[in-house]
Amino acid sequence: MDYEVGGAHSGLMETFETLVRSEFAPKTIYLNTASNGLLPARTVDALHEAALLRAEGRPLNSLYEDVEACRAAYARLAGVPVTRVAVGASVAAHTGVIAAALPAGAEVLTAQDDFTSVLNPFHIRGDLKVRTVPLEGIAESVRPGTALVAVSAAQSADGRVADLPALREAARAHGARTYVDFSQAAGWLPMDADAYDYSAAVSFKWLLGPHGTAFLVVPEDFGGLSPVLAGWVAAERPWDSCYGPVAELARSARRFDLTHALFTFAGLRRSLDLIEELGVDAVRAHDLALADRFRAGLAALGHEPVPAPGSAIVSVPGLGDRQPKLSDADIQVSNRAGNLRAAFHLYNTTADVDRLLDVLSG
C-alpha cells in the first residue's frame, strides 16, 4: 500500500502512507467512513483558527474565501466547470430543488431502498409518479415518459455501485434527465459529474470534511431548475443584496447556494486539499485493496457479503448484531438493515482488516 503522491497541488513527492500518517491518528479501528469520515489534522487546525476569528472579533473575509476555494476544489474532483457548482447544507435540500422543478404527473425512476435524501422530496410532492425498481435493473427500466432517474452512485446500505454509464445511455435514449448522489463515492470513486444533468454529495464522509455542507452540480443552463431556496448569497452581488428582493440572481450555479456554514468550509478546504494531494486513483486503489482483503477473509470464515464488486463498502447479511461487540473491541462499524457494514478509507490498514476478521471469527 505504498503509492506515489503527485497531485496537482502537492508540490512534493511523498508516499501515500507517509502523508496519511501525518494527518490521522485514530484511537480506534475506524471502519465507518460510510457514516462519517475522520477529520485530518490540518482540518482540525483550520476549524480551530476559524473559531478564534469569531471569538476574537476579527474579520471573517478569509472564511468566505474558503467557500470559493471549496467550490473550485469540488469542481475539479467532479470534472465540471466551477460555474456549475452550488453549495448548500444537505443532499435532501438539493433534491428538493430538483423535485420542485418537475411538472405535476412527471415520472421519477428510483432505486429500491436508496438513501432517503435522494428519494423523499419526490414523494413529498404528492403529485409525481415515483417508480421504484431494484438497482440492478434501473437502466433497463427507463422508458418513454420517464422524466428523471435519481440514484446513488454507491448504495449507503450495502455499497453496491450503480452502472452509471448504462443508466446515462438509457436516459439519453428516452429523453430523461439524470440525478446522481455521489455522497458514498466522492473521494474514492471518480465522479465524472459532467456526464449527468444533476449530481450532489455531502462533505462529511469520504471527502473527510465537517458536517454542514453539500455540493450540487447543475447544467450550464441550470436544467430548468428554479432557485426556490435563494437568499442573499444567491445574488450576483451578495453584499449589495442583503435587503429587499434580490435584484439579480448569480449568473452561475451560485444562484442555488444556501447560506454558507463558514466554519465547515474553513475545515473542508483543507480536507479537499488532502484528497487532491493523494489523488482519487490512489485512494481508490488503497480502499478497494482493503475491501477485497476483507471479502476474502469473510469467505474463509464462511460468510458471504452482499455482492458489490469495485466498492469500498462491504455489507455482510446477518452480522449486524455483532456491531456492539465490535465496538467494545474498539472496532467501529455500522449495523444497517441487519447487515454489518464496514467502509474502508485511506486511514485504514491491513492490520485493521485482520483485526476485524479475528474478532468476527470469535
Position of cell 465547515?
264
Residue closest to 116 by CA, chosen among 189, 207, 181: 181
Given a cut of 60, whether residue 95 has pLDDT beyond it is yes
- Give the SS3 label for residue 314: strand
Given a cut of 70, whether residue 6 has pLDDT beyond it is no
Distance between first and last Cα of the chain: 28
Given a cut of 90, whether residue 31 has pLDDT beyond it is yes
Given a cut of 90, whether residue 4 has pLDDT beyond it is no
Please give the Cα distance from 338 to 332 (Å, whole number).
Answer: 16
pLDDT tier, 162 (very low <50, low <70, confident <90, very high otherwise): very high
Q: How many helices (H) and strands (E) does the chain have?
A: 10, 14
- The pLDDT tens digits of the residues spanning 176-217 come to 999 999 999 999 999 999 999 999 999 999 999 999 999 999
Compute the average pLDDT of residues 90-96: 98
- The pLDDT tens digits of the residues spanning 47-68 come to 999 999 999 999 999 999 999 9
Per-residue confidence (pLDDT) for residue 14, from 0 to 100: 59
Contacts by 303-309, CB closer than 8 A, 24 or more apart: 303/360, 306/158, 306/159, 306/160, 306/339, 307/160, 308/155, 308/158, 308/159, 308/160, 308/161, 309/161
- The pLDDT tens digits of the residues spanning 116-125 come to 999 999 999 9
- The pLDDT tens digits of the residues spanning 286-308 come to 999 999 999 999 999 999 999 99
pTM of the model: 0.94
Given a cut of 70, whether residue 3 has pLDDT beyond it is no
- The pLDDT tens digits of the residues spanning 250-272 come to 999 999 999 999 999 999 999 99
Mean pLDDT, the chain, whole residue set? 95
DSSP character at residue 161: B
Residue closest to 288 by CA, chosen among 335, 341, 336, 350: 350
Burial label for 72, CB within 10 Å (0-12, 13-18, 19+), is: middle
Per-residue confidence (pLDDT) for residue 15, from 0 to 100: 87
Angle between helices 41-56 and 262-278 (to 10 degrees): 160
Burial label for 67, CB within 10 Å (0-12, 13-18, 19+), is: buried
Per-residue confidence (pLDDT) for residue 362, from 0 to 100: 85
Q: Which domains does the chain have, with CATH numbers?
A: 4-38+277-361 (3.90.1150.10), 61-275 (3.40.640.10)
- The pLDDT tens digits of the residues spanning 239-252 come to 999 999 999 999 99
Per-residue confidence (pLDDT) for residue 337, from 0 to 100: 85
Helix (H) or strand (E) holding 64: helix 61-78
C-alpha cell at 51: 473559531
Given a cut of 80, whether residue 1 has pLDDT beyond it is no
